[in-house]
Chains A and B, each alone.
Chain A
């Protein structure tokens, strides 16, 4: 099934580190904003219960931040060793947003996280509130730059290939920044983070109410999280739809694979809610479809077809053939100091990326047979069943979140949120936003295959010439490292949730981080 060569192992290692890192990111994004909202209420009303709530959730935020910080830096380690060819090819573009993220957003966030914890007694109420908002802003900026870099891999705009340096070079930073994929991905991802933060607060608040502890803070936290979560869950679905539209514009194969849509769907295209994709017969069995919906999602119209897998494979074949002349020129002239693409080859050069797919099958690609070209074109199909099911589970969870937050909002607005069934349901829903977020990344990144840069560079050409055993060894070390970190993180969070919030704000002369003390099982 899997061949554990250097390509597969490098992909596995990057996927592992990215998915692990993304366990922390959404909670930081969501909780930072919830802290800012709760502290704003404290500053506006002057009621200490809101400060206590902010400090309690701030403690959990601090643990998550401390455990999560720098877990993403290991991905940057990998660029230079496992992905040297990719790094050379795109470093000019990819490096800029990553550097801006490190220099601007991360330092903004990290500095103000320190002030948030150590500034309760040293700053005025309003100054501290500004600090908390800046923490939230920094976290969001951080996400923006990372997603700008990622979106460029999905839709490489604002760059041109230079045959002299054999790399993509930046032609327009504005185009990279305002890449439509980056914009839709950013808002979709951060709102998923807000859902995660809201579910985290709501679940722990439900746990307190069920156990009749810290009722005052728990009820208030649940009310804030319910309304914030409802708005965020609605946003995730609406903005996810926008993400689907941009993918429909730029990555038609990804949409076709998500839909398990083998044949081109004539207008108005219908959406497959459920079915069983069968790779052998290239059909989807027992489909349940909603008329018109796919046309609206993918083309924003009812009169345009949505191309299916087979039509897109045919198009890939055409592009492979078209890119051959450009490839032959590049193989001969590429890397020379005076190399310049002849005008008659410009169209062919745009399809060289497709021709390079043949290299996986035979090295002298200019001699490829029709069957080999067809095989290379077939490799543009991502893993249909994985995408089909990941997408559907993610969407189902998205609608579940809307329903749960909707019920929570209704019950808390009527002061009836103490119902045990609702509290238990909320508590057990805690892991679900992480499941949805990770599935979202599987759809986005696994769905980009076989490309490391869409329609430009195949993934297998981005890896370094290193022994697979090196990657296997570092992968094993990462598994150990991240497992240990995960155990410490969950252990600390569980411990401080059990301790609970400080019921009475006590004067603190040191200005040190405010940590909740164990509280008696009572309500105020």
Chain B
């Protein structure tokens, strides 16, 4: 019966993926890393004295 091996393999792969995505999010993209842009900042960016 091949059901359990595939089910288990997919579950392990999904678990690995979930953990990896959470780690990527926390380390690189979480709220602490997110940049909040206000209208004033946007206006400043357009009129900034140096290209970003």
Binding site for B on A (CB under 8 A): 6, 59, 62-63, 66-67, 70, 73-74, 77-78, 80-81, 84-85, 87-89, 164-167, 327, 330-332, 334-335, 356, 359-361, 363-364, 460-461, 463-466, 470, 473-474, 477-478, 481, 484-485, 488, 492, 496, 499, 508, 510, 512-518
| B49 surroundings in chain A (CB, below 8 A) | 363-364
Main secondary structure, interface of B, reads: helix
Are A330 and B42 closer than 8 Å at their CB atoms? no
Query: How far, in whole Å, are A84 and B35 apart by their CA atoms in the complex?
Result: 6
Known: A73-B21, A330-B43. A84 touches B37 (CB 8 A): yes
Query: How far, in whole Å, are A51 and B10 apart by their CA atoms in the complex?
Result: 22
Are B35 and A514 closer than 8 Å at their CB atoms? no
A20 to chain B, nearest CB (A): 13
| A474 surroundings in chain B (CB, below 8 A) | 24, 27-29
Shortest 7 CB-CB distances between A and B: which pairs? A331-B47, A335-B43, A84-B35, A166-B42, A334-B43, A88-B37, A515-B2
Binding site for A on B (CB under 8 A): 1-3, 5-7, 9-10, 13-14, 16-17, 20-21, 24-25, 27-29, 33-52
| A512 surroundings in chain B (CB, below 8 A) | 3, 7
Known contacts A334-B39, A513-B6, A515-B5; can you find 16 more A-B pairs with CB under 8 A?
A77-B24, A80-B29, A80-B35, A166-B42, A332-B47, A335-B38, A359-B51, A360-B51, A361-B51, A363-B51, A461-B46, A481-B24, A484-B16, A512-B3, A515-B3, A517-B1
Are A465 and B52 closer than 8 Å at their CB atoms? yes
A27 to chain B, nearest CB (A): 16
Are B42 and A59 closer than 8 Å at their CB atoms? no
| A477 surroundings in chain B (CB, below 8 A) | 24, 27-28
B25 to chain A, nearest CB (A): 6
Chain A residue nearest to B34 in the complex (CB): A80
A-B CB contacts (within 8 Å), total count: 132
A354 to chain B, nearest CB (A): 13
| A85 surroundings in chain B (CB, below 8 A) | 37, 42, 45
| A359 surroundings in chain B (CB, below 8 A) | 48, 51
Which of A356, A361, A478, A485 meets B17, CB within 8 Å? A485
Chain A residue nearest to B12 in the complex (CB): A488
Which of A77, A473, A496, A508 meets B6, CB within 8 Å? A496
Are A167 and B10 closer than 8 Å at their CB atoms? no
Query: How far, in whole Å, are A199 and B1 apart by their CA atoms in the complex?
Result: 29
| Interchain Cβ contacts under 8 Å between A and B, 14 examples | A74-B21, A80-B29, A84-B36, A331-B43, A332-B47, A335-B39, A363-B51, A364-B49, A460-B51, A461-B52, A477-B24, A513-B6, A515-B7, A517-B1
Are A464 and B35 closer than 8 Å at their CB atoms? yes
Chain A residue nearest to B47 in the complex (CB): A331
Chain A residue nearest to B35 in the complex (CB): A84
Query: How far, in whole Å, are A189 and B31 apart by their CA atoms in the complex?
Result: 34
Query: How far, in whole Å, are A515 and B50 apart by their CA atoms in the complex?
Result: 60
Query: How far, in whole Å, are A484 and B12 apart by their CA atoms in the complex?
Result: 13
